[in-house]
């Protein structure tokens, strides 16, 4: 029995409802549920959604229910391989985002430094130091602009 079938069996048993009742309420053929429990048939996605709604699964149980359904559809090895690729791509996107943020910070530092330099030059042109200010500050070199 697959993990999905076991999970579905546990949901049915814990609900205390008959398969016939679940079938009527979910609008799924009773034989489809029976065959899904024995792995003779894979339920369509719409049926799995209807079962999840019928059992009023909380988010974490709903995610596990659909994860096990995906594993049943794809096969465990293919599912694990795809998950590994997804994990790698997520990691890569985080690294690229981090790299972008670092480059942005460096760019902003360069812009701020450049703006400070421009402001300093403009202030110097508007308020040049006189020769007496330079000499009084201890400077020995003549002031030239």
Q: What is the DSSP string of 92-103?
A: HHHHHHHHHHHH
- 34-73 residue pLDDT tens: 999 999 999 999 999 999 999 999 999 999 999 999 999 9
pLDDT score of 141 more than 70? no
Kindly report the average pLDDT of the chain as a whole number. Answer: 87
Q: How confident is the model at residue 30 (pLDDT cuts 50, 70, 90)?
A: very high
- pLDDT for the residue 88: 87
Single pTM value for the model:
0.61
Length of the chain in terms of residues written: 145
Percentage of the chain exceeding pLDDT 70: 88
Averaged pLDDT, 128-138? 58
What is the Cα gyration radius of the chain? Answer: 35
pLDDT for residue 124: 78
pLDDT digits over 88-98, tens only? 888 888 888 88
- For residue 128, pLDDT over 80 is answered with no
Distance in angstroms (rounded) separating the CA atoms of residues 6 and 39: 10
Query: Which residue from 129, 34, 39 is spatially nearest to 75, judged by alpha carbons?
Result: 39
52: Cα within 13 Å, side-chain hemisphere? 20
pLDDT in tens, 103-122: 999 999 999 999 998 888 88
The CA distances from residue 9 to 12, 15, 68, 73, 81, in Å, are 5, 10, 13, 18, 27
pLDDT on residue 144: 53
């Amino acid at each position: 029995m697959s993990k999905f079938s076991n999970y579905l069996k546990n949901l049915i048993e814990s609900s205390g409802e008959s398969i016939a009742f679940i079938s009527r309420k979910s609008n799924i053929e009773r034989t489809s549920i029976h065959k899904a429990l024995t792995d003779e048939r894979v339920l369509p996605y719409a049926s799995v959604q209807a079962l999840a709604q019928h059992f009023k699964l909380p988010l974490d149980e709903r995610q596990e229910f659909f994860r096990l359904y995906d594993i049943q559809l794809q096969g465990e090895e293919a599912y694990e391989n795809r998950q590994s690729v997804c994990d790698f791509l997520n990691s890569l996107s985080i690294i690229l985002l981090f790299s972008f943020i670092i480059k942005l910070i460096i760019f902003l530092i360069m812009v701020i430094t450049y703006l400070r330099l421009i402001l300093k030059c403009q202030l110097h042109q508007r308020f040049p130091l006189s020769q007496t200010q330079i000499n009084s500050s201890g400077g020995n070199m003549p002031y030239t602009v």
